Amino acid sequence: MSFATSEFDELPDPADGREPPQAFQPPRRVLLGPGPSAVPPSVLEAMGRPMLGHLDPAFLGLMDEVQAMLRAAFRTGNDLTFPVSGSGSAGMECALANVLEPDDVALVAVSGAFGERMREIAGRCGARVETIGGTWGHPVEPEQVEEALREHPGAKAVCAVHAETSAGVWQPLEEIGDLCRSYGALFVVDAVASMGGIELDVDAWGIDVCYSGTQKCLSVPPGLAPITFSPKGLAAREGRVSGPPSTWYLDAALIGRYVGRERVYHHTAPVSMLYALHEGLRLVLDEGLEARWLRHQEVGGELLHALVERGFQPVAPPGYRLPQLACVWLPEGMDDAPARRRLLDEYGIEVGGGLGEFAGRVWRIGVMGASCTSQNVAQLSHALDQILGT
Amino acid sequence: MSFATSEFDELPDPADGREPPQAFQPPRRVLLGPGPSAVPPSVLEAMGRPMLGHLDPAFLGLMDEVQAMLRAAFRTGNDLTFPVSGSGSAGMECALANVLEPDDVALVAVSGAFGERMREIAGRCGARVETIGGTWGHPVEPEQVEEALREHPGAKAVCAVHAETSAGVWQPLEEIGDLCRSYGALFVVDAVASMGGIELDVDAWGIDVCYSGTQKCLSVPPGLAPITFSPKGLAAREGRVSGPPSTWYLDAALIGRYVGRERVYHHTAPVSMLYALHEGLRLVLDEGLEARWLRHQEVGGELLHALVERGFQPVAPPGYRLPQLACVWLPEGMDDAPARRRLLDEYGIEVGGGLGEFAGRVWRIGVMGASCTSQNVAQLSHALDQILGT
């Protein structure tokens, strides 16, 4: 699978390092790709505040508040809830590497690139990986999950991607959670692109390990991965029989001693990113989760309508389409890279191209977090009309 | 080994998550601990600039410039040179997990906590780990390294910490680099607290993998770990016989396809942190590496003089003391935690306590990057005089 973006490689020559380059001023973009989304001014401002030590009482107080807000956003009472110091993929690795041991069986639901990534990482943890589904663009049905659980008694975990942004698939989770409890498997969920955008209810849905990313519907810059472990999820880490996980940096037991009451130094937290996440979560909870889900539902509806009117067709079947991220087949005759380049250069609008087997065939258009406005949909529609010559 | 900081655990109650907490305003601190150091205004400002997509041509241009500046700061021509999306410890894990395979022999020089951390992570990679030295506060001699190399023919790597901040030890590297070449071992160096503060010369010293952190002498917020792989270091990753490393997030071969010419998506880069690193490296190169080393040497001399005058004694032997980070035994009768708390609360000055076996017995006082000024030394001296009642 290739994720190449070769159309964008006519880059300026890098500095030779002997003379430092000019200060960088980013161009203004309307961010309608699969993330990062637009970052609100108060979040940008928070990031520019003066530095604090990572063991300063004031910073530890901030970290406590971030954890409390993350619990609210995940809808969980899990004690072990914290931001992983890395991108969403670091959250994925943290989730899988802590609970999977060599020769464990991991059942991974695959509807696109991020399910495939879970499969890859689970394999690197030494697990025996079995795929459920596997067709890009198609959600996994509870019956398929139950069949897999029956075929692999004693499976350690079922893994699923809530919002599969490579294909625009909204994967229902509640029934899968019920099955995991019945069969005694852990339920590991990728909520990178769902948290703060569509309903996510970690405790009610029986999710044991759930991770997200900051740069999607939370509208915080990329660089942190909120994660939560249920008591059962944490017990899987604590009770490992093969020894500690191969990763030290993402070892949830060690990190738990820093983010919990013990305050034992593990690694230096990315302080400025935590300022940003604190402010971003404040905005999310101030708007209210339900209000936020509704906004994504409504604007996502407008987006899909606008796209279909212009000849784009959604990849996912009805009822399983993410409002915050439309993955659509291109209209006949439209050439992917030049059209995206025109959108960026002439209209300052970023949309995403296809990954892997969808490269060149789909666009991924996000209305996530602060990017999720009717005005952005109208601006994109106008630009598309110009480009399509309609 | 416990890194507890229990003296700082009287924290405000965390928010309950139902009502978001107030916006966070960090108190002003003079940062004289072992990092993070003070961040210059233009770096803070850079971090607050508007978001860009991680595949935007403008962002890829920025990344190219960052890589070029990192090569200059590492003094290397290594093609594979990039910022790891995580803290310095992520850099350590990236270095070791890529080049070490199960049953490889890793010889680890230990003078303090970060050498021990290298040992721990090398062990988690499955390597058979042999310690060189092992006494906190004492550098490792080339003779000890040669003895270890003779005892373990075919050892895969020698690992050393250039600036061991837990003990204030300046580890000479050049002769160890020569030995590694003679015996055919890779040379892996932790330069987290040295880059930009004391001489570091990756190519001339024969270092194969070298990683740093942004929040020390580079004076950029924590959250990125510059790293560089020599062709031999990269070949160790590419030629692994046991399969890919267990970490996907830190797999240098995959990351190399994003930061290199191919531009293949791997994970979402922490865009705002890259803005900050770009600006921070500009300031470093604008000052000039040699000028910067000299500044650290001079101010570090003033710091040590001021500390010794007040009854503190350096841990490391003469000739092996880091200018940018003094690790000193406390004057007789001085009580660690209350004195540090007074410094913080009454004077707004942060210094670091001891780690592990040094907890309660030493302070770690840093003058790194933008924190490295004579004025800061004078301000600390004044505060210490008040606290010590001299």
Return averaged pLDDT per consecutive 10 residues of chain B, 390 residues in all.
39 53 97 98 98 96 97 98 98 98 98 98 98 98 98 98 98 98 98 98 98 98 98 98 98 96 92 98 98 98 98 98 98 96 98 96 98 98 93
CA dihedral B383→B385→B387→B390, nearest 10 degrees, is -170
Size of interface A-B (CB pairs under 8 A): 351
What is the predicted pLDDT for the residue at B98?
98
Q: What is the mean pLDDT of residues A6-27?
A: 64
Q: A24 and B62: CB-CB below 8 Å?
A: yes
Mutate to test the interface with B, among A43, A118, A268, A283 (most CBs of B within 10 A): A268
C-alpha atoms less than 13 angstroms from C-alpha of A132 in its C-beta half-sphere: 28
Pick from A21, A49, A221: which is nearest to B26 by CB? Answer: A49
**β-pair type (B163-164, B169-170):** antiparallel
Average pLDDT across chain A, whole number: 95
**β-pair type (B225-229, B313-314):** unpaired
- Indicate the residue type of B75: R
Q: B267 and A87: CB-CB below 8 Å?
A: yes
What is the predicted pLDDT for the residue at B261?
87
pLDDT at position A389 over 80: yes
Residues of A in contact with B222 (CB under 8 A): 54, 268-272
Residues of A in contact with B28 (CB under 8 A): 50
For residue B365, which of B283, B289, B310 has the smallest C-alpha distance? B310
- Indicate the residue type of B168: G
Q: A248 and B117: CB-CB below 8 Å?
A: yes
What is the predicted pLDDT for the residue at B150?
98
Identify any residues that bridge with B132 across adjacent strands, giving them in sequence order.
Answer: B109
Tokens for B215, please give them.
């929040």
Query: Which CA distances in Å does A171 have to A91, A111, A194, A287, A357?
Result: 19, 9, 10, 25, 20
The CA-based angle B235-B240-B243, given to 5 degrees, is: 145
pLDDT at position A376 over 70: yes
pLDDT tens digits for range A189-212: 999 999 999 999 999 999 999 999
**Residues 6+ positions from B140 with CB-CB distance below 8 Å:** B109, B110, B111, B132, B133, B160, B171, B176
What is the predicted pLDDT for the residue at A19?
80
Residue A260 is given by DSSP the state S
Question: By percentage, how much of chain A surpasses pLDDT 70?
Answer: 95
Rounded-to-integer distance, Cα B390 and Cα B382, Å:
10
SS3 readout for A142-171? HHHHHHHHHHCCCCCEEEEECEECCCCEEC
Residues of B in contact with A20 (CB under 8 A): 69, 281-282, 285-286
What is the predicted pLDDT for the residue at B12?
40
- Please give the helix or strand (H or E) that residue B209 lies within, else none: strand B209-211
Whose structure tokens read 């995403």?
A352
Q: What is the DSSP string of A96-111?
A: HHHH--TT-EEEEEES
pLDDT at position A258 over 60: yes
What is the predicted pLDDT for the residue at A18?
61
Q: B279 and A24: CB-CB below 8 Å?
A: yes
Q: Is the dihedral angle over the CA atoms B33, B36, B37, B41 positive or is it negative? A: negative
How many residues are recorded in chain B? 390
Neighbours of A311 (CB within 10 A): 16
Mutate to test the interface with A, among B62, B248, B281 (most CBs of A within 10 A): B248
Span between the terminal Cα atoms of chain A, in Å: 35
Q: B97 and A246: CB-CB below 8 Å?
A: yes
CA dihedral B140→B141→B143→B147, nearest 10 degrees, is 0
Residues of B in contact with A53 (CB under 8 A): 29, 31, 33, 36, 350
The interaxial angle of helices A174-183 and A142-151, nearest 10 deg, is 20
What is the predicted pLDDT for the residue at B18?
61
Residues of A in contact with B26 (CB under 8 A): 49-52, 58-59, 62, 275
What is the predicted pLDDT for the residue at B390?
66
Q: B51 and A67: CB-CB below 8 Å?
A: no
pLDDT tens digits for range A21-78: 999 999 999 999 999 999 999 999 999 999 999 999 999 999 999 999 999 999 999 9
What is the predicted pLDDT for the residue at A2?
36
Pick from A57, A62, A90: which is nearest to B249 by CB? Answer: A90
Tokens for B107, please give them.
């010889």
Assess contact for A348 and A308: CB atoms under 8 A: no
Residues of B in contact with A24 (CB under 8 A): 46, 49, 62, 65, 275, 278-279
Residues of A in contact with B223 (CB under 8 A): 85, 223, 270-273
Query: Which CA distances in Å does A290 have to A372, B40, B254?
Result: 15, 40, 38
